Amino acid sequence: MNALDFNRRTFLVGAGATAGLTLGFSISDEALAQGATPEVNAWVVIRPDDTIVVRIGRQEMGQGTVTGLAQLVAEELEADWAKVTYEYPTPGQNVARKRVWGDFATSGSRGIRNSEKAMREGAAAARMMLLQAAADEWKVPVAEVSVAKGVITHKGSNRSTTYGKVAGAAAKLTPPTNPPLKDPKTWTIAGKPLKRLAQDGKVNGKQVYSIDFQAPGLLNAAVKDCPIWGGSLKSFDAAAAEKMPGVKKVLKIENAVVVVADTWWRAKTALDAVKIEYDSGKSANLDSKAIDDMLNEGLGATEAFIGNQSGDVQAAIKGAARMVEATYSMPYQNHAPMEPMNSTARWTADKCEVWTSTQNGEAALATTSQAAGLPLDKCEVYRMDLGGGFGRRATSQDYVRQSVLIAKEMPGQQIKLIWSREEDQLRGCYHPITKCKMTGSLDKDGNLTGLHMRISGQSILATIRPEALDKGRDPATFQGLNAGGAEGAIGYTIPNILVDHAMRNPPVRPGFWRGVNNNQNAIYLECFMDELAKEAGIDALEFRRKLMKNHPKHLAVLNAVAEKGGWGKPAEKGVFRGLAQHMGYGSYVAACAEVSVNDAGTLKVHRIVAATDCGHAVNPAQIERQIEGSFAYGLGAAMFQEITIKGGKVVEENFDSYPILRMDDMPAVESIIAPTGGFWGGVGEPTIFVAAPAVLNAIFAATGKRVRNMPIKNTDLRKA
């Protein structure tokens, strides 16, 4: 499809109320002649009824990004917010138009911060074109026309019109270059705590997630991939399954056995009747103990990749008045979004189409093309709503690949692949496993003179994106521990510091799990800061403050939670507090947690005060929801989630053995949103970093027990 052709078509896939939109049918030329709406530019379509359709490359998955981006566009456009809706361009359209919508990847808390400039400029350009079109029609200078809420006015002649009426003429104008943007201080739509777009379907059951995709003649597939990491499919006997009701075909797809049937339940039932044998390969003896041994070796290894080095840490430790040592660990964790992985595909020799929920439509399209054996321009991915992502649907498009390979076995047939919850647990992209040996040196006055963090364990990039390694080193391992930079700098000035990484990669697949490496790095560093403060006999807040003079933004959020959280003041009887701060994805975050531990050793997290400085706050109400949501996600992991390995296979196959935080464990959350301007930080992930260390520090205050190995449930918290 060339650009001109594209301009004449309305979008096929969107999140608005338009029916039939997810089926990918082409709109006929007759339909177009009857009033399809041209775009003002790639970002903005304005219908004759003044509805503003914002086109968004990033993906909504519950985090509110789409609403925030639409607010930014509406702001620059001077639109009436009540008339704003949105739609998703497809990855194929993005390819055809030379990536006019930019990067679709929605991960790394970059949905807004890496799109705001292009989208605000697109909206500002559209506004200028719309005003110009009105001025041209009235034959008056554009400087004399103004706009408010999508209504254009020429005061001199007392005339007015609306965006919808001039959009067609505006679309024919040459777009301005470098349109000026508003000062965020003057925002009236962006920066406001508006409600989310498209919420109705989420309370009446009408929102269609990709698992809900329906079409006439659709078949369903169930899959069991080899559950042994490093193993392979040896053989299978499908004789019984093939005779079961509704079964169309039993297939081998790489190391997976697949049953295609008329319904998914029949496919799954038949799949359970297939006798499958696996070859464990080198993983027969791979278990959590063997992995722990591997990581322990790395803790003392002589060679390691350096992440942050200054001064001479070994000399500082040798000359220390007092030395503190501690080893921490973080297990594998699964994303477990509520909607299991799924993807629908149809393959023919000259076209492959996919309907799926993904955090990265462009990666899904590339995966489709590769699996289909067809060029990108013969493939298309229709983006559907996600029942959660958390990094799983960004790390790997493995489910998309499987669905295309299945469809290829039955040309022309549309087939929906759904993973069972068990498959989702067994074939995850897990939060990587690491341990960390912390060594700190104090002088006689309790000042921190040296810090060595030896991280041992898994690199995500080594498996998932090896091309991003830097001479074998995984820079992402050091998230939040870097000496500087806008993305994730350590908040302390320590005279002698060494942060290094002994990379040890078990064959269990790692992935980007909400917060990624910041999660364990914040636990390691912030809990150890408390250990050092205790050894120095100095209050944990004061101990940190002494090291944070050169890090005012880190310090400001820490001070904010300390003040609001009541640090230094008496807590309710039996309630104890803990602090933590960290920086990641461009944002500065801190938390003050309040916990109690009863005589039975049961932990209760009562309240967390959280602060974030994300530079610009596009929608404070949605940021609050991200803070709370990140705490639910992070605390559940810290308190009771771990993926363990036996015989190369994940042990925890469902929510009965992999518990998820529920209502009764959710603390009260008080958010301090303190944007200081001048930069754009993310909000989907950052606050998750500080939930666990603040709680762990509070547990120590409550019990005198230092929990160093996650999850917390593995430590007896009863007072000794």
Partner 1 sequence: MAKLNINGKTLDVNAEPDTPLLWAIREQLGLTGTKYGCGVAQCGACTVYVDGEPVRSCSLPISAINATQKIITIEGASGKIVEAVQKAWLEHDVPQCGYCQSGQILAAASLIKAKPSPTDEDINREMSNICRCGTYNRIRTAIKQAAAAVRGA
Binding site for partner 1 (CB under 8 A): 61-64, 195-196, 199-209, 211-212, 214, 220, 245, 263-266, 269, 336-340, 385-390, 418, 420-422, 621, 625, 628-633, 654-656, 660-664, 666, 668-669
Q: Nearest distance from residue 367's CB to partner 1, in Å?
A: 22
Give yes or no for a cis peptide into 570 (omega within 30° of 0).
Answer: no
User: Which one, 4 or 19, has the nearer CB to partner 1?
Assistant: 19
Q: Nearest distance from residue 260's CB to partner 1, in Å?
A: 14
User: Which one, 287 or 422, has the nearer CB to partner 1?
Assistant: 422
Buried b (16+ CB within 10 A) or exposed e, 493-517: ebbbbbbbbbbbbbbbbbbbbbbbb
User: Which one, 418 or 540, has the nearer CB to partner 1?
Assistant: 418
Q: Nearest distance from residue 71's CB to partner 1, in Å?
A: 14
User: Which one, 200 or 542, has the nearer CB to partner 1?
Assistant: 200
Q: Nearest distance from residue 672's CB to partner 1, in Å?
A: 16
Q: How many CA within 13 A on the CB side of residue 188?
A: 8
Report how far apart, in Å, the C-alpha atoms of 495 and of each of 310, 452, 568, 648, 704 are.
Answer: 7, 11, 28, 43, 29
Q: Nearest distance from residue 386's CB to partner 1, in Å?
A: 6
User: Which one, 46 or 639, has the nearer CB to partner 1?
Assistant: 639
User: Which one, 631 or 689, has the nearer CB to partner 1?
Assistant: 631
* Dihedral angle sign, alpha carbons of residues 494, 497, 501, 502: negative
**Are 86 and 54 in contact, with CB atoms under 8 Å apart?**
yes
User: Which one, 222 or 503, has the nearer CB to partner 1?
Assistant: 222
Beta-carbon neighbour count of residue 328 at 10 Å?
A: 23
Reduced to 3 states (helix: H, G, I; strand: E, B; else coil), residue 664 is helix
Q: Nearest distance from residue 418's CB to partner 1, in Å?
A: 8
| Cα–Cα dist 288/294, whole Å | 10
DSSP 302: S
| Cα–Cα dist 64/682, whole Å | 12
| Cα–Cα dist 643/414, whole Å | 34
Amino acid at 524: Y
Beta-carbon neighbour count of residue 634 at 10 Å?
A: 27
Q: Nearest distance from residue 440's CB to partner 1, in Å?
A: 34
First CA to last CA distance, the chain: 71
Q: Nearest distance from residue 659's CB to partner 1, in Å?
A: 9
User: Which one, 539 or 670, has the nearer CB to partner 1?
Assistant: 670
Q: Nearest distance from residue 105's CB to partner 1, in Å?
A: 18
Q: Which residue has the tokens 């929801």?
A: 625
Listed residue (224, 220, 222) closest to 276, CA to CA: 224
Q: Which two tokens stand for residue 605?
A: 């997290």
User: Which one, 193 or 319, has the nearer CB to partner 1?
Assistant: 193
Q: Nearest distance from residue 646's CB to partner 1, in Å?
A: 20
User: Which one, 188 or 199, has the nearer CB to partner 1?
Assistant: 199
**Are 507 and 463 in contact, with CB atoms under 8 Å apart?**
no
Amino acid at 484: G
Q: Nearest distance from residue 214's CB to partner 1, in Å?
A: 6
**310 sits in which H/E element:** strand 305-310
Listed residue (654, 610, 662) closest to 636, CA to CA: 662
CA angle (290, 459, 649) in 5-degree steps: 40
Q: Nearest distance from residue 664's CB to partner 1, in Å?
A: 4
| Cα–Cα dist 397/159, whole Å | 53
Listed residue (540, 633, 635, 629) closest to 595, CA to CA: 635
Q: Nearest distance from residue 261's CB to partner 1, in Å?
A: 10
| Cα–Cα dist 112/95, whole Å | 21
Amino acid at 638: A
| Cα–Cα dist 70/123, whole Å | 10
Q: Output helix, strand, coil percentages for the chain, rounded to the nearest 5.
A: 35, 25, 40
Q: Nearest distance from residue 334's CB to partner 1, in Å?
A: 11
User: Which one, 47 or 604, has the nearer CB to partner 1?
Assistant: 604
| Cα–Cα dist 356/607, whole Å | 38
User: Which one, 529 or 635, has the nearer CB to partner 1?
Assistant: 635
Q: Which residue has the tokens 């019109």?
A: 161
User: Which one, 457 or 515, has the nearer CB to partner 1?
Assistant: 515
Phi, psi (rounded to 5 degrees) for 583: -130, 135
User: Which one, 391 or 586, has the nearer CB to partner 1?
Assistant: 391
